[in-house]
Amino acid sequence: MDPTTRRSTPRLSRPDLRADLGAGITVAVMLVPQAMAYAMLAGLPPIVGLYASVAPLLVYAGLGTSRQLAVGPVAMVSLLTATGVGAIAASGTDQYLAYAVLLALMVGVIQIAMGLLRLGYLVNFLSHPVLSGFTSAAALIIGLNQLKHLLSVPIPRGHHVHTIVLEAVRGLPSANMATLAIGLGAIAALVAVKKWAPKVPGPLIAVGGATLAVWLFGLGGAGVKLVGDVPPGLPRPALPAWDPVAVRQLLPIALTISLVGFMESISVAKVFANKHGYRLKPDRELVGLGAANLASAAFGGYAVTGGFSRSAVKDQSGARTRLAGAITALGVAAALLFLTPLFQFMPNAVLSSIILVAVYGLVDVAEVRHLWKTDRVDLGLLALTFVATLGFGIEQGILAGVGASMIVFVARRTRPHFAVLGRLPGTEVYRNVNNHSDAMREPGVLALRFDAAFYYGNVTFLEDTLRRLEADEDGPLRAVILDAAAINSLDSSAVHALEGIARDYQARGIRLLFAGVKGPVRVVLERTGLDERLGKDNLVLTVCDAMDALGAPCPGETAANGGAA
């Protein structure tokens, strides 16, 4: 068995230490180039990505509940940062950097508050198709935004796909060929390593090779944009500048990052918690991530969360405890202390290549194909989210998707499946007469099963269906039996409707019985006094008992006055 499964109070053994050391260093090797690339995607100097990869990791190692989760800069949160901060400041300015740090602080506060208020369950509102459509669109936006680095042509930041493509095509003749060569070469190398040597740290190879090439061939003079001079050393702690106007402007994106970042992180963490058989505490995870974001802001970094690819590497390379994350942080700190001189030869294009290869896998075509075959409505939700994200923006896309998911969920229940029931001969089992041609109906008695909670959205359908079925009967009805086994709940609109139905039937001498009312529904009936008004004799256990109460034959052990029809 996996050694992580049995440990409830982690005490570090020597093999654990060795495993965490190896995993931590492996992740650090992967993280250094990725963090720089994602910071660039966020519109920030690459060094900020490294600042966001030290303190947050140490804090999460102390407060988080996942042992495999690798926290740090990720693509989605970087894109969201770029969208939010880009709307109120120009990339490259001090203001932009200050706002990005402020945003991380806000995300930290929001996530901790959400955790303390136990709001982790809000992620439940993000459905699978919405997440898939949103992720694919975001990946596309991220990818297209890299074209400017790859071609070295100026393309204004934005997410209007057609504008970006148009500008890229227009800029193609003036593209810097050396930059393009570095970018395409790096992509080829990354893809090749991924395919044929998955254990080799591709990003490190690509960055190392490209940096070497720039230095060897003096490509800095050939117009290749470089990361350039950065101050060596660790970031110093500082309070982010508080700006009430900016806070108000950044609030929507901060909420989005808090939720989407947590969603991504908890999904990844769950995969590995399931694999190793330990339990996560979602609300504690929120606090851990929030604290990591506060730490990031305190040390000049930007918003972070747990990402999939590095977590997978961390798990594969044998991380056993949360110490592995702390070791990764020390590795990044070492890079900050000793490797910064190399950055003056590191081309931006190679960082773009890393992003491009990373997000390519996020475009989820398989899900589209799957839903096309299985669920066209959910495919519609995916498509809506995808289009809205591309056309109107990141938060708008998520909001549209979440809203539409809710509408679809409610709408799908406005016309629930129902069945007229008949008795299978010789049994006390009642089944849909349309599926069982031998099921026998009792004349003058309408036995019905509605497969849905009763709520405001389907009370009209319920009323109409009862009336229509009554009109379709050959003779007058003497009783209606509602099989309530599938009625999982009852809201106040439904209570009103049932009262009206019962009153109408009473006035016309038709008896209304409920069979198999479940606990939660019974509670509502009692609290509203509807059980009294329906008559307690009319609440029975099974459809067979209801027939019994009507004096209709229903053989079997529960029928006191039985006898076959």
Phi, psi for 106 (deg, rounded to 5): -65, -45
Q: Which is nearer to its own copies, 52 or 477 (CB)?
A: 477
User: Is the Cβ of residue 68 or residue 405 nearer to its own copies in the bound state?
Assistant: 405
We find the least distance from the C-beta atom of residue 443 to its own copies, in angstroms, to be 21
- Smallest gap from residue 486 Cβ to its own copies (A): 6
CB 278 to its own copies: min, Å = 10
> How many residues are given for the chain?
565
Tokens linked to 496: 């009103």
Task: Specify the residue, 317 or 458, whose C-beta has the smaller distance to its own copies.
Answer: 458
Q: Which residues contact 282 (CB under 8 A, 6 or more apart)?
A: 120, 121, 266
**Shortest Å distance, C-beta 306 to its own copies:** 17
Q: How far is Cα 537 from Cα 540, in angstroms, rounded to an integer?
A: 7
Whole-number minimum distance, CB 3 to its own copies, in Å? 17
DSSP string, 162-188: HHHHHHHHHHGGG--HHHHHHHHHHHH
Rounded-to-integer distance, Cα 96 and Cα 492, Å: 51
DSSP code string of 364-376: -HHHHHHHHHH-H
Closer Cβ to its own copies, 270 or 441, answer by number: 270
Distance CA 73, CA 54 (A): 11
Minimum separation from the CB atom of position 146 to its own copies (A) = 30
**How far, CA to CA in Å, does 361 sit from each of 309, 383, 462?**
10, 18, 46
What is the full DSSP assignment across 137-155? HHHHHHHHHHHHHHHT---
State how far the Cα of 312 lies from the Cα of 34, in Å rounded to an integer: 15
CB atoms near residue 32 (< 10 Å): 25
Identity of the residue, 254 or 501, whose beta carbon is nearer to its own copies in the bound complex: 501
188 vs 407, which CB is nearer to its own copies? 407
> What are the beta bridge partners of residue 482?
448, 514
What are the angstrom distances between the C-alpha of 460 and each of 77, 262, 411, 455, 512?
A: 44, 39, 13, 10, 18
**Alpha-carbon distances, residue 15 vs 18, 20, 164 (angstroms):** 5, 9, 51
Nearest distance from residue 394's CB to its own copies, in Å?
Answer: 20
Based on CB atoms, which residue is closest to its own copies, 43 or 416?
Answer: 416
Phi-psi region of 455 (alpha: psi -120 to 50; beta: other; left: phi over 0): beta
- Minimum separation from the CB atom of position 520 to its own copies (A): 5
Q: How far is the CB of 528 from its own copies (least distance, A)?
A: 5
Work out the burial of residue 497: count CB atoms within 10 Å of its CB; fewer than 13 is exposed, 13-18 middle, 19 or more buried.
Answer: buried
Closest to its own copies by CB, 126 vs 358, is 126
Instruction: Read off the tokens for 289.
Output: 């991530």
Nearer Cβ to its own copies, position 57 or 554? 554
**Pair of tokens at residue 543:** 């459809």
Q: Which of 52, 136, 41 is nearest to 86 (CA)?
A: 41
DSSP at 90: -
Nearest approach, Cβ of 128 to its own copies (angstroms)?
4
> Binding residues for its own copies, per CB under 8 A?
121, 123-130, 270, 274, 279, 370-371, 373-375, 378, 405-407, 409-410, 412-417, 432, 435, 451-453, 455-461, 463, 467-468, 471, 485-486, 488-489, 491-493, 495-496, 500, 504, 518-520, 524, 527-528
Please state the closest distance from residue 82 (CB atom) to its own copies, in A.
28
* Shortest reach from residue 369's CB to its own copies, in Å: 12
d(CA 348, CA 186): 11
What amino acid is encoded at 23 in this protein?
A
Measured from the CB atom, the residue of 8 and 561 that comes closer to its own copies is 8
Minimum distance, C-beta of residue 410 to its own copies, in the bound complex (Å): 5
Nearer to its own copies, 49 or 282 (CB): 282
In the bound state with its own copies, the residue whose beta carbon lies nearer, of 162 and 279, is: 279
**Whose Cβ is closer to its own copies: residue 214's or residue 269's?**
269
SS (H, E, C) 381-434: HHHHHHHHHHHHCHHHHHHHHHHHHHHHHHHHCCCCCEEEEEECCCCCCEEECC
d(CA 518, CA 153): 66
